[in-house]
Amino acid sequence: MSSDSEFTTEPKEYQHDDDGGPQPEKHCGHGRGGMGEEVARKEDKRFITGRGNYVDDIKKPGMLHCEIVRSPHAHARVENIDGSRAMDLDGVVAVLTADDLLEHDLATMPTLMDDTQDVLVNEKVKFQSQEVAAVIAEDRYTAKDGAEKVKVDYEVLDPVVDAAEALEDDAPLIREELDDQEDNHIFDWDTGDKEATEEAFAEADVTVTEQMEYQRLHPAPIETCGAVADWDPGNDKMTVHMTSQAPHAHRTLFSQVSGIPEHKVRIVSPDVGGGFGNKVPIYPGYVVAAAASYVLERPVKWIEERSENIQTTGFARDYDMTGEIAATEDGVIQGVKVDVLANHGAYNAAAQPSKFPAGFFNIFTGSYDIEAAYGSLTGVFTNTAPGGVAYRCSFRVTEAVYLIERMVKVLADELGVDPAEIRRRNFIPSDAFPYESATGWNYDSGDYEKALDKALEMADYESYREEQKRRIEEDADKLLGIGISSFTEIVGAGPGKQCDIAGIEMFDSADLRVNPTGNAVLRVGVQTQGQGHETTFAQIVAEELGMDVDNIVVEHGDTDTEPYGLGTYGSRSTPVAGAAAAVAARKVRDKAKSIAANELEAAEEDIQWDRQSGEFHVAGAPDRSITITEIAAGAYMNHPGSEEPGLEATNYYDPPEMTYPFGSYIVVVEVDRETGEVDFEKFVAVDDCGNRINPMIIEGQIHGGLAQGIGTAMLEHVTYDDNGNVTGGDFMNYLLPTANEIPNFETGHTVTPSPHHPIGAKGVGESPTVGSPPAIVNAVVDAMSHASVTHVEMPMTPDRVWESLNEAGLALDPSQNVSFDFEGGQSDEPADD
């Protein structure tokens, strides 16, 4: 393999903009469309014309429909299940219970954290809406009617939904079926150097502490979970169309659960209407549909309702965190301590592939050069839905970033130092990379001060600080707050030495085949849910081979045709599968060089590759050149005797390290002292994701992530009452941001290539969701910090903000607001009590 096929970024071969990245160009259906060009998304044509193909679009001859019977109780023993009234309905084919699944060894399934979860409950319900039985019918409506007629007798037990209360001595035992389980404690985990950290705190001039909650969220993808299972008894083969972010991993798990040999299991993940981590786990509905199809020998479809999706599938966050910082009187951070109580729900089913129980939470030192750090975490069972998915983040990185960015703000306020300045004093210097953090992570590259400076300039930071002072001095009705978040994320799961799913190391794959006529098919092991893989991966190949991007098709989501891969989550698509695609293309380019020499009748060592023209030419004779299209024909029709026919290559890429995208976000808000309402004045996001593949797609990813960050900070929360009832389990109560809540975003970028990645890329899809919540909370707190307000819990609803205003003596008397005279308009008279 030639030297340009090694794991290098080749930065000098790209045309760069002022920030060091590939210069954006428009691609309008002609030309190459390689790295750095704003190529229109190929997949959008079918999406915007209604030609997408989702799981619920799958229809099979003789297909049956599955409806799950769910428990109304959060904690109860199942005493009896009577499905006779359901079976009396015309069109009901079967009522399945745990006893039926036990006959086929399908009553339980493994989670991704070495726990075992009921598929259908046999003895005890452990959270509200848990799966108890299933009705299989000729159509969906009959299945729903049948489910309502299944009678289940329960002995209701006391539930516990709060993690701290679950650890109390008198708390009800949730997992009594586990051997030696005497309480609701799952695990303890720690990271860092405790002794060194305690020493740093003992010697510090200043210490600050803050307790904060990262509330339970739900990814709430627009498409709920579902599956169509089709057992073929003639070929002993199970085909499952399902909403999967990781089809190959799910095939392996399906085989392990069912006992069907893996080569007889096919998983097809067609178009997926959003995932955000929610479609990484295997859910009982998938298994029930497959079991029903196996027993009844007919296709069976299962599709969730929205409330089922929110109430029972993988949630995110639910971390109760206490952070502490030790610093000098000048604000130089000397140590960080973290203590976390993690609510894992009724089963330990966190969907994260690292070898650490808390995922990558140990990146809680963030962007800062901190010598001593120690973190401890306790996981707890509660009577709530299991999960802990990486909702648009890399496995608890979001919680870690929120913690450190909030704590830096707390420290700045304690010392009276500007939040931007205190970050400068503590950033990891740009010349210190690669940098090993106090908790053992190897940051690949970064220039944090450059990103912050750009964000400050875009935000007109100093002018807003002056305006903030003016409003405080004039006792204005609306306070101004400015929040900063300078975050570092860890993505690209990942090195097999650190990451696996069910023991399978976290490599990924690409298979590239160039046809005789010069077009190509790239098959990848990752699965798109809206990220634009069909476009960006084609651009990588176009860049590496000098092909037109329109002549490259990207395929994914079918385990019978695609190479084995571990799926899409944790921003791993570009860092891992994108790298695999680049290296596969370079392997093809190496073979193409031999064929070019044959076609040009020159020695192979005299053949040179020109990235700019996308051609091979003879050294010293640039007019003697050949394109990949001409080479492809030669590969099949005039191949050299030293080479096999064809032009194709496969690569499995296990990254040597993670990649570390970063950024600085600045949010300016107005806080209404009378109502507690928060309005966004300015929202600036500067990201660095390494070398940029498609600036337009990056922009879209950032906009979507920032909107989700606003939802996290201001609106979203899965809540429970004392009886374990989900009180935030539908879109009437679980509030998502709409166009009314989303401000205009101003985006910018810097480019710091990853030194170990084949194309210098880092990943960007999750950074805005990671970085924006602390910036928003910091802004709201900043509006009140002159009155010693240090924290407001998310979601920062108007009532919560008003309570903070009131406690700080900042709330306005509502009787002094302006009233309205409906005959004469606005009045200056005080409103009546």
What are the Cα distances from residue 631, in Å, to 511, 544, 593? 19, 14, 9
Residues 321, 212 contacting (CB under 8 angstroms): yes
Rounded to whole angstroms, the Cα distance separating 107 from 109 reads 7
Q: Are strands 316-327 and 206-217 parallel, antiparallel or unpaired?
A: antiparallel
Known active-site residue 468: no
User: Pairing relation of β-strands 333-343 and 372-380?
Assistant: parallel
DSSP state string for 34-46? -TTEEEPPTTHHH
Eight-state DSSP code of residue 16: B
Q: Which of 325, 313, 319, 304 is nearest to 276 (CA)?
A: 313
* Set 41, 392, 611, 673: catalytic member: 392
- The verdict on whether omega for the bond into residue 434 sits within 30 degrees of 0, i.e. cis, is yes
Contact of 768 with 687, CB cutoff 8 Å: yes
- Output b/e per residue, 33-71; b: 16+ Cβ within 10 A: bbbbbbbbbbbeeeeeeeeeebbbebebeebbbbbbbbb
Q: Is 502 left (phi over 0), alpha (psi -120 to 50) or beta?
A: left
Annotation says 245 is catalytic: yes
Which helix (H) or strand (E) segment holds residue 699: the answer is helix 695-714
Q: Which residues contact 592 (CB under 8 A, 6 or more apart)?
A: 545, 616, 628, 631, 635, 647
Copy the structure tokens of residue 382.
């509660």
For tokens 């098919």, name the residue.
521
- Kindly list the distances between the CA atom of residue 537 and the CA atoms of 176, 523, 579, in Å, as whole numbers in the listed order: 49, 10, 10
Give the position of tokens 């009378």. Answer: 674
**Which is catalytic among the residues 324, 534, 630, 766?**
766
CB-based contacts of 235, cutoff 8 Å, min separation 6? 264
| Options 245, 468, 527, 708, the catalytic residue | 245
- Other CB atoms closer than 10 Å to residue 196's CB: what's the count? 15
Q: Is 826 a catalytic residue?
A: no
Q: Give the CA-trace dihedral at 452, 804, 729, 165, to 10 degrees.
A: 100
Catalytic residue among 393, 396, 468, 701: 393
**What is the set of active-site residues?**
245, 392-393, 766
